């Protein structure tokens, strides 16, 4: 007979873990199932390890350029990747152990290790990792939080080479001589800059004519210029057609020749990284048995309250197509929990339908975005105001010696509501929150423009930026 629970949570990512605990705290007998490592993508192969690498890379970069701040460092600056990895592993371990301890100690929560597959709309079979017999569970409420994995393109020769993803590249203990990155979006650019600052030669293969196609062209070009100054090479309009192993030239079987379309010369890489997107982990969950459909990308359609078409089943986090970030996954948890446990008392139901998208690209300087881009505003046809300001006008940026980038904001000319903003510049990932909060509050841009900010900070120039709004033509 299946074990009966009030709720089952599949996955322990940034949405699933706190939801399992909240369910238990509210008297729900809850099962939480993890087939791999606790903490999900963010803790294990996403935010936590990559930002640890970003920090190490920045330390090396600052040390190499210390003379610009009047600091003399003698000798070559080198990076011990094994020590960088060890530091990263310790940070991951602390977080992973913390999540597991939290879940195992939570009230009314039972933790299961293994691969969960639906056996019906409200039943799950767990295939244990350690060879133990399968276990059958059932529950009135099931929450899917299984995350994503890297997309690997289908290319001739790929079965004959050793390639890397954002996960496996983090296992290296020796620096690549020449890292070739296929892809030009967030993950690709973060790794490109990190390993260039570590000391590797880095070439980025871009299928189109520019990086970061989701952003306005001026921001993409500005960031590209930063990368070129740091010695990162780009191959634009390049389409890999075939991969060829180069025997022992990489020392560990990693050397690859990347053949490109047309007359473009091939690239020889000591290490090849594919950063060509991610796909949801939904194809091995037995969703057909539950009557749960997915779209052409493998995403589970949900309504504004994150419910699937099957009553009593929710999908949260990266698998639902409502945002592929840690903060959107956590917000999913907050929406679901509020509707389950607070709506009756408050009379208010929460929805992700009106959520303003926010994110950052954690390159250096970071690029942070909230709401609409200039391109999107122009496509909407609405009457708008626009303002831009170079980071060279920001006193704190000049004092830090980091003036690359600029700010841009867009405002609805009639309602005075901020439509969106992007900041490419030092501490932009923090400064953007003043605009995020203003948008969330539904306040006109004048509220932020008239606020008194602390000097000297990056944020203090945002009111000045808003003072420069002009009609967009």
Could you count the other beta carbons within 10 Å of the beta carbon of residue 448?
Answer: 22
Measured CA distances, 386 to 52, 377, 418, 469, 471 (Å): 36, 10, 10, 5, 6
Torsion sign over Cα 413, 418, 420, 423: positive
Measured CA distances, 471 to 283, 380, 383, 413 (Å): 48, 15, 8, 8
Measured CA distances, 286 to 37, 144, 215, 413, 445 (Å): 21, 12, 37, 50, 48
CA 308 to chain centre: 24
Rg (alpha carbons) of the chain, rounded to whole number: 24
Mutual angle of helices 186-198 and 217-229, in 10-degree steps: 20
Residue 3, Cβ density class (10 Å: 0-12 exposed, 13-18 middle, ≥19 buried): middle
Collapse the DSSP code of 299 into the 3-class scheme (helix H, G, I; strand E, B; otherwise coil) and give the result: coil
Under DSSP, the state recorded for 307 is B
Q: Quick check: is 455 catalytic?
A: yes
Cis peptide before 365 (omega within 30 of 0): yes
Mutual angle of helices 47-64 and 81-104, in 10-degree steps: 150
Q: Give the separation between CA 202 and CA 208, rounded to whole angstroms.
A: 18
Strands 201-206 and 267-269: unpaired
Mutual angle of helices 186-198 and 47-64, in 10-degree steps: 40
Q: Give the separation between CA 315 and CA 302, rounded to whole angstroms.
A: 7
CA 38 to chain centre: 18
| Set 4, 65, 297, 455: catalytic member | 455
Q: Which residues are catalytic?
A: 455
């Amino acid at each position: 007979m299946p074990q009966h629970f009030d709720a089952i949570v599949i996955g322990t990512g940034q949405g699933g873990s706190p939801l399992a605990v909240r369910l238990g705290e509210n008297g729900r007998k809850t099962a939480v199932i993890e087939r791999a490592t606790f903490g999900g993508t963010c803790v294990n192969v996403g935010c936590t390890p990559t930002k640890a690498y970003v920090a190490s890379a920045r330390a090396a970069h600052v040390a190499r350029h210390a003379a610009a701040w009047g600091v003399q460092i003698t000798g070559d600056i080198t990076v011990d990747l094994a020590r960088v990895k060890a530091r990263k592993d310790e940070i991951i371990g602390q977080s992973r152990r913390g999540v597991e301890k939290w879940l195992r100690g939570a009230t009314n929560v039972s933790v299961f290790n293994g691969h969960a597959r639906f056996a019906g709309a409200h039943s799950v079979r767990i295939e244990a990792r350690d060879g133990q017999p399968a276990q059958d569970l059932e529950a009135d409420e099931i929450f899917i939080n299984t995350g994503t994995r890297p997309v690997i393109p289908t290319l001739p020769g790929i079965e004959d080479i050793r390639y890397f993803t954002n996960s496996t590249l983090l296992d290296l203990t020796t620096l690549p001589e020449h890292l070739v990155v296929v892809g030009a979006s967030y993950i690709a650019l973060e790794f490109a800059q990190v390993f260039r600052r570590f000391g590797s030669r880095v070439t980025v293969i871009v299928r189109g004519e520019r990086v970061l196609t989701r952003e306005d062209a001026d921001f993409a070009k500005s960031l590209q210029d930063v990368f070129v100054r740091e010695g990162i090479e780009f191959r634009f309009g390049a389409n890999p057609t075939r991969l060829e192993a180069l025997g022992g030239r990489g020392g560990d079987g990693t050397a690859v020749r990347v053949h490109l379309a047309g007359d473009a010369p091939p690239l020889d890489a000591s290490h090849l990284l594919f950063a060509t997107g991610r796909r949801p982990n939904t194809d091995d969950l037995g969703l057909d048995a539950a009557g749960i459909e997915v779209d052409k990308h493998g995403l589970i359609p949900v309504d504004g309250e994150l419910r699937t078409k099957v009553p009593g089943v929710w999908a949260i986090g990266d698998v639902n197509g409502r945002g592929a970030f840690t903060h959107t996954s956590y917000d999913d948890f907050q929406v679901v929990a509020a509707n389950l446990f607070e709506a009756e008392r408050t009379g208010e139901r929460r929805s992700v339908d009106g959520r303003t998208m926010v994110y950052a690209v954690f390159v250096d300087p970071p690029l942070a975005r909230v709401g609409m881009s200039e391109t999107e505003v122009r496509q909407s046809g609405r009457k708008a105001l626009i303002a831009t300001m170079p980071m060279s006008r920001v006193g704190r940026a000049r004092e830090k010696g980091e003036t690359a980038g600029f700010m841009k904001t867009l405002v609805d000319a009639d309602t005075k509501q901020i439509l969106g903003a992007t900041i490419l510049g030092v501490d932009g990932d923090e400064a953007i929150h003043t605009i995020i909060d203003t948008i969330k509050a539904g306040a006109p841009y004048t509220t932020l423009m008239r606020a008194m900010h602390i000097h000297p900070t990056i944020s203090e120039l945002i009111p000045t930026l808003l003072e420069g709004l002009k009609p967009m033509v």
